[in-house]
């Protein structure tokens, strides 16, 4: 069913793309638009993941340089029944994360340093489970291609402004130009946002199933949303077409569950996860709103595994060794994420 919906969506976007081409240049413009659409699809399929990671300056990590983060991703991938994705780290203080890749065998997940600093290991696990749910549902390919189409349609709209006035090629004259410039990009934007919003709810549900604790994800969403509201993400602002890929809108911390939001309301997502936790009969009862804010969390616990030197040294306790905040025991056996 998900494959069928994806095929129908891509067919609709292709038809919209061809329609814009027809408004600009008649039958010839429509055929040129079809060729561009085919090329866009092929390019997006093979290269969109690399482009998104490069735009956000993501760096690939492994168990050697980010062992705890890598171990969490590995554990969640195992629980989801997925191949181990490539794991990336974004040097950005805003807490956020996204997934990309054309299929589960070629997937990648990325988390910011701000996310690893602000969240507990359990909350990080829930966020990674959410991103792996996108991979499992093949959302990563669909959402990336839709974003590419939306950008291309906007480009055609700009093209219409300069070259759409030729009546020999444009059968609708100035009306066609105006539709190509305004209505078509707007329609593409609405489709892009509607797809993203629907799939975020599904990824929340499946992510909660993967990690087994809906309130872990609810608490993580609350912290990420508050962090995104007060910390800018310059890379995302330079590339707004990729904003819908993140778990929380990295541009403005959108609050209203409106037609023009790339993400559903965080409050609505949290409420759905709380209801899911009650249905599962989980033992967690504390509301996510009672969790500490990202800044408070950073003050209460050391920074993440990418910055070991910044951690304060803990006194040795040979009688009762303690695990560090990322779930590994520095003096004893490996912890829960290993």
Tokens of 12: 């609709």
Q: Is 68 annotated as contributing to ligand binding?
A: no
CA dihedral 311, 314, 318, 324 (to 10 degrees): -40
Question: How far apart are alpha carbons 6 and 178 in whole angstroms?
Answer: 29
Asked if 301 and 291 count as a contact pair (C-beta separation under 8 A), the reply is no
Asked if 109 and 99 count as a contact pair (C-beta separation under 8 A), the reply is yes
What is the end-to-end Cα distance of the chain in Å, rounded?
Answer: 35
Which is the catalytic residue, given 68, 122, 131, 254? 131
Chain centre distance of CA 86: 15
Q: Is 130 annotated as contributing to ligand binding?
A: yes
Residues in the chain: 338
Tell me the CA distances in angstroms from 47 to 201, 294, 320, one per residue in order. Answer: 27, 34, 50
Question: Is-catalytic flag, 131?
Answer: yes
Q: Is 237 annotated as contributing to ligand binding?
A: no
Phi, psi of 332, deg, nearest 5:
-135, -150
| Residues assigned a catalytic role | 131
Q: Which residues are annotated as a binding site for Zn(2+)?
A: 130, 134, 200
Q: Which residues are annotated as a binding site?
A: 130, 134, 200
């Amino acid at each position: 069913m998900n494959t069928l919906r994806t095929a129908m969506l891509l067919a609709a976007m292709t038809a919209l793309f061809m329609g814009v081409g027809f408004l600009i240049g008649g039958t010839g413009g429509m055929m040129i638009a079809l060729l561009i659409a085919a090329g866009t699809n092929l390019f997006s399929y093979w290269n969109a993941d690399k482009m998104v990671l490069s735009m956000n300056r993501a760096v690939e990590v492994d168990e050697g340089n980010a062992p705890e983060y890598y171990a969490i991703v590995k554990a969640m991938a195992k629980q989801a029944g997925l191949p181990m994705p490539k794991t990336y780290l974004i040097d950005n203080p805003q807490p956020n994360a996204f997934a990309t890749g054309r299929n589960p065998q070629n997937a990648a997940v990325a988390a910011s340093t701000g996310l690893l600093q602000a969240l507990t290991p359990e909350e990080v696990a829930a966020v990674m489970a959410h991103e792996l749910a996108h991979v499992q549902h093949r959302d990563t390919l669909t959402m990336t291609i839709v974003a590419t189409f939306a950008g291309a349609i906007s480009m055609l709209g700009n093209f219409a402004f300069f070259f759409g006035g030729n009546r020999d090629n444009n059968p609708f004259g100035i009306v066609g130009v105006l539709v190509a410039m305004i209505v078509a990009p707007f329609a593409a934007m609405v489709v892009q946002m509607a797809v993203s919003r629907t799939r975020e709810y599904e990824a929340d549900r499946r992510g909660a199933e993967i990690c087994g604790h809906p309130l872990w994800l609810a608490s993580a969403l609350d912290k990420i949303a508050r962090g995104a509201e007060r910390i800018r993400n310059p890379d995302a602002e330079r590339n707004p077409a990729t904003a819908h890929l993140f778990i929380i809108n990295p541009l403005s911390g959108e609050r209203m569950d409106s037609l023009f939001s790339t993400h559903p309301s965080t409050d609505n997502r949290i409420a759905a996860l709380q209801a899911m936790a009650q249905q599962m009969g989980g033992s967690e009862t504390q509301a996510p709103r009672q969790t500490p804010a990202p800044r408070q969390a950073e003050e209460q616990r050391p920074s993440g595994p990418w910055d070991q030197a910044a951690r304060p040294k803990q006194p040795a306790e040979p009688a009762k060794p303690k695990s560090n905040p990322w779930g590994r025991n520095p003096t004893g056996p490996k912890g829960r994420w290993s």
